[in-house]
Amino acid sequence: MKLNRRRLLVAGASIGLAKPSRSFAVPTIYAPSDLKPVVIASGNGNQFKNGGTVTCVEKAFSLMTGQTDILDALIAGVNIVELDPAETSVGYGGMPNADGIVQLDSCCMHGAKKRAGGVACLEGVRTPSLVAKAVMDQTDHHLIVGKDAQKFARTIGMTIEDDLNTPHSRQMYLEWKRRADPEHYLDPAKRAQAGMAATLQMAQERLIDPHHMYGTINCNGVNAKGEIAGVTTTSGLAFKIPGRVGDSPILGAGLYVDGAVGAAGSTGRGEANLYNLSSFLIVENLRRGMRPKDAGMEALKRIRANTIEKRLLDKNGNPSFSLQFYIVNAKGEHAGVSMYGNPQYAVCTEKGSTFATCDNLL
């Protein structure tokens, strides 16, 4: 059969050559030559070594640039921090809750596999990030909490310990208890006020690292294949109400990863982050073409605008707390942003590990 122009156009349309009726915005996919493999983390990611020779970001980058899956590499990195008793805001030896019990939270996301997992209020397991990954790998769920998270950890063969306190964390708890509740019982309002006042005083006296009041390590990476992943793990707010869950194990808050766009995670006041789902917002800002720093600043501005309770404001009407975000896009470009000050965040590339400085909003 001879094909005339009309029949050719009809045939072309039937196999998808015709012009689509609508256009859709899609994320930019970067070729490997555009990528800059990198691992970033909160500052403690390039500080603690748990008696070894490498830090979290160094370990993660070394594994990531080998044959190790990117998320496995990042989790191996944060395990160093979780296991180090000197780091009092993550894992073993983390600051306990108001009952003196260490409760841990974590979540992880694998951009290429489009999978995630998390645990909250987990007791007795030093490395909650490994349990979070098991939730991702071995269940159809994203989050398991409390005693059932511990049962799940036991089921998969994790060691369950009676107490994750170290002598130091126990000593800090007893000091906090002495200051916060000297007469044993107060009315709820006074007790909460006394507890926070005692925590702040202990931070001012450097008994507690001020950065460890809200704890946490976030670690994100982009490998040479363009795969993106992230993990966040924490012991949460020092001396928190038992059962309190912050932003760290919540997808979109403590961590969010899109395999075609980038990743963002946080440390600092979890409640402010939760209200705004800021990590998700940041990644969506990346999707719209913002650079990592600008995407993070937009999230901080949103948090500032939504903080209106007087108890959370300083004398200038600004948030009285700080919050940090660590952001990397699909090209390996990264930034750290903070509500206040210029805290450092950890970076590791083929040139080695270093610190970079967060940009502040206020």
In-domain check, residue 313: yes
Name residues whose C-beta falls within 8 Å of residue 138's C-beta, 6 or more positions apart in sequence: 156
Residue 221, domain CATH:
3.60.20.30
DSSP string, 2-16: ---HHHHHHHHHHTT
Spot the catalytic one: 65, 199, 216, 232: 216
pLDDT at position 200 is 64
In a domain, 303, yes or no: yes
Read off the pTM.
0.85
pLDDT for the residue 196: 64
pLDDT at site 224:
96
Q: What integer pLDDT is reported at residue 21 of this predicted model?
A: 40
Q: Which residue has the tokens 């921090």?
A: 81
Q: Which among 67, 68, 43 is positioned nearest to 57, based on CA atoms?
A: 43
In a domain, 15, yes or no: no
**Residue among 300, 306, 251, 260 at smallest CA distance from 280:** 251
For residue 203, the one-letter residue type is: A
Q: Where are the alpha helices (DSSP H) in 112-237?
A: 128-138, 146-155, 167-180, 188-204
280 C-beta neighbours (distance < 10 Å), count:
18
Q: What residues contact residue 228 under an 8 Å CB cut-off, 6+ apart?
A: 70, 111, 112, 220, 221, 222, 257, 258, 259, 261, 262, 263, 328, 330
Structural domain for 291, as ranges: 38-360
Cβ atoms of 106 and 132 closer than 8 Å? yes
**Annotation says 232 is catalytic:** no
| Closest residue by Cα to residue 92 from 129, 133, 42, 52 | 129
C-beta of residue 256 within 8 angstroms of C-beta of residue 109:
yes
Give per-10-residue mean pLDDT for the chain (362 aa): 47 42 46 82 97 98 96 98 95 94 98 98 98 98 98 98 96 86 53 64 63 75 97 93 95 98 96 97 98 98 97 94 96 97 96 98 97
Q: Is residue 32 assigned to a domain?
A: no
User: In this predicted structure, what is the pLDDT of residue 15?
Assistant: 40
Q: What is the pLDDT of residue 195?
A: 65
Dihedral sign, CA of 233, 343, 348, 335? positive
To the nearest 10°, report the CA torsion of 45, 48, 50, 52.
90
In a domain, 222, yes or no: yes
| Number of domains, the chain | 1
Flag whether 28 is in a domain: no
CA distance 162 to 166: 12
pLDDT for residue 192: 61
- CA dihedral 341→38→265→342, nearest 10 degrees, is 0
CB 74 within 8 A of CB 127: no
Task: List CB contacts of 315: < 8 A, sequence separation 6 or more.
Answer: none
318 within domain boundaries: yes
319: tokens are: 């948030």
Q: Does residue 288 fall inside a structural domain?
A: yes
